[in-house]
Structure 1
Amino acid sequence: MATPKSSTKPAMTTHSFPPSRQWVVYMVFPALAALATWYMRLGPAAEALASYFGLIMEPKPFFFPDSDIQLRRTYVGIDALDTFLSFLVAAFLPGAAGLNKAFQLQQLHFLFSFLPVLATWSVEAARQGSAWKIISFTSFWSLFYQTVGGAIFIPLWYLAFLLTTSRTVYGANNSNHPVPLPQAKALIPALLIGYVVPTTLMYLPFLGIETQQFMVALWQPAPLFVNGLWAVGSWISAGTERPEQNKKNSEKYVKAVYLLSGVVSAIVHLGVMWTCLTSDNPAVNLGEVLVPVERSTWGMATSLLFVFQVDFWVIMAAGLVAAWVVVWDVHHLGLADVGTGKIVAVTIVVAVVLGPGAAISGVWYWREGKLRQAVPRGKR
């Protein structure tokens, strides 16, 4: 007797866009990465920076332009690593030390707005369905985005996320989407200690310029600190949980991660916006802090400001596009009654008022709740 064909449809491995439109959405991310590569590594600002950084290679003290601050050369006592860290410190210190006030505000805004991106990556990497997928190796990704450029590699992570995540994460068989409870509980302390604290320490002027340069160097592997602390915290938490609990009740902790990262990002955003709007310094305004503008002459600080502005906007654009995709999925897979247009409008308003980092956190917070509504409306 012939075996009847199963009526069960195979799991769909693409998102809910029509096939003819998927490639258009996906191409946004490599396009953003290419744009960042041009402006951050090949454009006029990058050429100007190359001349300044060439001076760092010379065997003599390097003083930051228009200041008496000398670049620190020793951090860990290993020559090759100290040289590498010197370049990174030279790129960050004009902002961290306030040698250019607009750059300082932009950098502060950027680094705290990045917290929701780091939180999102961590959560999605920890999902059971992400095990051994390329998106789960966040330490590997961080080595590239921390050294070569976030805007060059972060859009590619989002592309990998969209290509490797399955619509079944939203469907009736939702076994792939939980974050194990020990990891969910340990993520907030890891983000606070591994990222928020080192970022804050970079901007404390009373530490002295030598110590401040060390703090800038210490910040560079912050995403690795997060992962290391997270692994230890998860191991400790796992020892206190009953095995049957490990796959349950993680939603509130994951949502707390998004809430915390969104609140921190929003507070810094509001503080920077207030400073720009009330400052008596003519060089400190919203346009100078937020808008990348090519110049006829490039100083070291203005070149770095431009590069960091491009870095910020490309990363935030990639994060917001990915957020729009998951909103589309949640709606069109029957898990939300609200239209995508309304969510997009709300996201834009939140991005303007509370910052793009807070908007990204808000979308993923909303999505996390919808993941628990595993069965589409028509099948309930």
Structure 2
Amino acid sequence: MDAQSGFRIIIGGGGLTGLTLANMLQLYGIDFVLLESNPSISPARHAGISLLPHGSRILDQLDLYDKVLELALPVKSLLHRDQIGKVIHDVRDVDRLMHERHGYPILSLDFQRVLQVLYDNIQDKSKILTNKEICNVDVTHNGVVVKTSDGSLYNGDILVGADGNQSTVRDTMWQIADELSPGWISSDEHGRPSSDYGCISGRSSFCEDIEPCSRTSVFGKHYSYIINSGPDGHLYWSCFFKLEQRARGNNIPTFTEEDEREILDARSNDNITPTVKFRHLLDSKDYSTIFSLQEYVFRRWHFQRIITIGDAAHKISPISSYSESACLESAATLVNAIREALAGSNGTKPTLNQIGHAFSTAQSKLQARLITLEKHAHEQHRAESLDTLLHAITGAYSLPKINTENIIDRLSRHIPLAEMLDGQNLGQKPLLVPYKTELLRAPTAPGMSKWYFVGAYLLISGICYYGMWVQPGYYGLWDHMGKVLTTGEFPYNSGFPLKRTYIGNEFIDNIFMYLSVVFMSGLKDWDPSFRFHNVYFLGILIQPITVWTVEAFRKRNLRTPVSMVTIWCTLSQFTGMGIYMPLYYAVHSFVSESESYWWPLSREVPIQYADSMIWAVMIGYTLPTIILFIRWEDPFTLQNIEALWQLSPMLVPLLCTLFAYFHPSRRTRVAQKPQKANELFPDLEPLKRLYVVTGILGLLFHVYCVFTAYFDPELSISAVFWPDFITQEKTLGEGVKFMFLIDVWALEIATYVWSCQAVWDLKRVGRSNANILKAAALIAVSTVILGPGATLCAVWYWRETRLAKTSFAPLRVPRSLLGHRLVEDSLGQVGKTDMRI
């Protein structure tokens, strides 16, 4: 269809972006001509390229990955060094870690060789023209006419500017837009690109003290280095230096060869390692070039029939290694949009409106992501050049303490959301961090919907606070409690004195004395319905405490408020679960915002904690709760046990930590074994078992309590489960019972909303296709019939298995990966693993 339509694309620029675009158009049979201003396609003076996995994936779609792999070296180690060359952090086995996460390693190779592979793959070399500098562009209703410096004219339907940072096509497009549609390109756009850093980039011969297959980052005050080991003994290096002040637009400096020599001489004694100076690399230098690092993502990429992509539209610093792969993404996104426009034109050429829509789609799909990448690269510059005192402290003290997984997480965090060519399926294999195209749908940000959940939690918390601490004052509860605290006697039984001393500390004794006044009415038989409600309320806390503890020990929740479950439970014990736990759910909504939060790797609970959790729950909370409801006759014994029970929710995570300390993995170091994508996560079975056991307990307990409340003549469903809202003075027991009922209803409603949010989140991040309304109805029915505890465990069991999945489609390994040394040991158990998950 594309060939029949006669649609033709003129590509301005024969660099990485332009040649990649040409190969993509060739793949889909779309006609093109590429115009390159230089006399050759592969410039001689260009340093190496670091190709990230999502860039390799696009090359794999073009069936070029194997050819590039033969010319490259995988990065096996990441080394971070200080100003004297001392290693402050190193990461090993990077090639395998990245492969298990993303299907490809990080590759280091000559930039020229990548261009040569792309050029060699073009079947009709007459479409690649050199010495063709674009000097004029005419846009007509039917197409574009491009004139080059030698007087040649080239006709096409659209012009794509892939001519780099100093883009002639972009300048021409701006000029045409200013003439035909003033304001389309903002008047200040020319001056918005900024530069804080300069760079000298070059290639040297092998140095024996630079580790092969490594990427070395050297941190220095207002300077930094990146040294990549490449094939054939080459070292690709970049020396970054900070400019005296930020420059913008036309004020961004250009450098001369004399400037380059002066800067190299000034930096020659910088340490790369303790034994290697920068001058040692310069002694074997093959070539180098100096330039300012421009950083900016333009706000408008297109006008009418002209569009810019790659560095012409978005300039990202090479320090993060995302810049080259972003150019490949840019080309892929444009081709996807063009193919969609061609498909919608029914065999004819797309109209100007269709072309404009395609360009707008391509930009909108990628722009926000590229802005994030640009900011990330800039912050990396600031961190590695020790821009502020905080950066210096972080580099010296925090970085050495960061574990390997967190370093790889930072390198990986933007890879899964990368774009690729549509309709060119490579198949799927289990990945520890699946790409968005390998999920059931592309992940989306929570947006405003998150605030609906947060608002619900805050509303529930506020209503609970009013019901527990404001409204009881109207019923005279505080007067009743004050009388008991003053007289030391409960109104139901003068022979049941209030215990006033526990540990001899007045502050703590007063807290336990107050809690005794609150709890005794629900522990004695003075009001059977209140005692039975208390049994139910404290009994169904087993499952929420279990889930909160699991979340506290997840890798992704470490160093977040979600991990501080002991504090949350402490606040809840003294004020009300229905007040503080909805706030916990609200905090969780913010903590779980990012896409990386939902990676299978992030889900994991270290095995020593996963194995210990069931014992911590049973010993820390379940057993004390059973002991609490034994019918103790001695008043002081019951009050002592009640005081000890108050610590039980906080005891669960503490016991889990204690039991984990003695776990066998601490001796065998099984816990430190790198996770493979085709293997079950070791924590999955213990967690599933935990949910099953506590869930069954919750089911049996709920059914028992409901049947007992219904059939016992001293009880009733309404008396046990429904608050008495009649506005009249209540007794001590009635007032406290009202507080407890408000507390339990607030907690259970908030937990129900949290369970629904769990389903919504999984659908939002592409791990589920569940219908949210049907799921919400099912959870509601299950809460009533099976009980809130059993329902919560069932939701978390399902959630756990969905998050642990590393593949969401039948296994089809990309042909370029078959037989590769990094995957030959990864295929054995994939089918079995997927079935088990």
SS of residue paired to 1:19: coil
- Considering fraction of residues, name the structure with more helix: 1
* Structure 1 SS opposite 2:448: helix
Letter in structure 1 aligned against 2:740:
F
What's the secondary structure of 1:123's corresponding residue? helix
Note the C-alpha offset of 1:215: 1.1
Query: Is this contact kept in 2: 1:169–1:371, CA < 8 A?
Result: no
Residue in 2 that maps onto 1:35: 463
* Residues 759, 770 of structure 2: 8 Å contact kept: no
How far apart, CA to CA, are the structure 1 residues paired with 2:782 and 2:741? 20
Matched, 1:109 2:524: no
1:250 counterpart = 2:683: yes
1:177 maps to which residue? 603
Choose which of 666, 672, 676 in structure 2 pairs with 1:239.
Answer: 666
Matched, 1:294 2:725: yes
Matched, 1:260 2:687: no
Aligned-partner Cα distance in 2 for 1:78–1:23: 43
Q: Is the 8 A contact 2:606 2:683 kept in 1?
A: yes
TM-superposed deviation, 1:177: 1.2
The answer on whether the counterparts of 1:170 and 1:371 sit within 8 Å (CA) in structure 2 is no
Structure possessing the higher relative contact order (Cα contacts under 8 Å, 6 or more residues apart): 1
More strand by share: 2
- Following superposition, the deviation at residue 346 of structure 1 comes to 2.4
Give the whole-Å Cα distance in 2 for the aligned partners of 1:259 and 1:246. Answer: 28
Amino acid aligned to 2:542: L
Larger mean CA deviation between 368-377 and 25-34 belongs to 368-377
Corresponding residue number in structure 1 for 2:640: 214
Q: How far apart, in 2, do the equivalents of 1:287 and 1:227 lie?
A: 35
Does structure 1 residue 77 correspond to structure 2 residue 504?
yes
For 2:561, which of 115, 129, 134 is the aligned residue? 134
1:187 aligned onto 2:613: yes
Deviation digits for residues 143-166 of structure 1 (CA, Å, limit 9, x no counterpart): 211111111111000000111114
Aligned mates of 1:46, 1:148 — CA distance in 2:
19
1:55 Cα deviation (Å)?
A: 2.0
* Partner residue in 1 for 2:198: none
Deviation at residue 246 of structure 1 after TM alignment: 8.6
Unaligned 5+ residue runs, structure 1? none
Distance 2:516 2:705 in 1: 23
Shift of residue 230, structure 1, vs aligned partner: 1.0
Asked whether 1:318 is paired with 2:750, we answer yes
Q: Is the 8 A contact 1:133 1:164 kept in 2?
A: yes
Structure 1 stretches of 4+ moved >6 Å: none
- Return 237-246 or 285-294, whichever deviates more: 237-246
Shift of 1:187: 0.7
- Deviation digits for residues 340-364 of structure 1 (CA, Å, limit 9, x no counterpart): 3333232222211121121111111
Look up the equivalent residue of 1:221 and give its one-letter code.
L
Instruction: Give yes or no for contact 1:116–1:262 (8 Å, CA) kept in 2.
Output: yes
Pair 1:307–1:194, CA change in 2 (3 A): same
Distance 1:243 1:298 in 2: 56
**Cα contact 2:549–2:652 (8 A) shared by 1:** no
CA distance in 1, matches of 2:509, 2:642: 13
Residues 340, 143 of structure 1: alpha-carbon distance in 2 compared, 3 angstrom cutoff:
same
**1:107-149 C-alpha deviation (Å, 9 max, x unpaired):** 1111111111111111111111111101111111122111111
605, 622, 633: which one aligns with 1:196? 622
Q: Is the 8 A contact 2:481 2:732 kept in 1?
A: no
Offset at residue 377 of structure 1 (A): 5.7
Distance 1:45 1:287 in 2: 23
CA distance in 1 between partners of 2:489 and 2:617 (Å) = 34
Equivalent position SS for 1:132: coil
Which of the pair has more CA radius of gyration? 2
Q: SS of 1:229's equivalent?
A: helix
Counterpart selection for 1:49 from 471, 477, 499 = 477
Superposed displacement of residue 87, structure 1: 0.9
How far did residue 268 of structure 1 move? 2.0
Q: Is 2:608–2:671's contact at 8 Å kept on the other side of the alignment?
A: no
CA contact (8 A) 1:151 1:314 kept: yes
Q: CA deviation at 1:98?
A: 2.4
Question: In structure 1, the residue corresponding to 2:713 is in which secondary structure?
Answer: coil
Distance in 1 of aligned mates of 2:524 and 2:556: 43
Number of residue pairs aligned between Structure 1 and Structure 2: 375
Secondary structure of residue in 2 paired with 1:205: coil
Deviation at 1:76, TM superposition (A): 2.5
Which stretch shows the higher mean deviation, 222-231 or 206-215? 206-215
Correspondence for 2:735: 303
Amino acid at match of 1:280: P
Matched to 1:275, the amino acid is: T
- Using the TM superposition, give the Cα deviation of residue 73 of structure 1 relative to its aligned residue in structure 2, in angstroms: 2.0
How much has 1:322 moved relative to structure 2?
A: 0.8
Quote the residue 1:144 is aligned against. Answer: 571
> Could you tell me whether the CA contact under 8 Å between 1:170 and 1:333 is conserved in 2?
no
Instruction: Give 1:357's aligned amino acid.
Output: G
Q: How far does residue 39 in structure 1 lie from its aligned partner after superposition?
A: 0.6
- Give deviations 1:188-245, integer Å, cap 9, x for gaps: 1111111001111111014633312211111111122212211110111143542445
Q: Which residue of 699, 709, 731 corresponds with 1:276? A: 709
Q: Percent identity?
A: 23
Alignment partners' CA distance in 2, 1:276 and 1:100: 14
Partners of 2:475 and 2:730 within 8 A in 1:
no
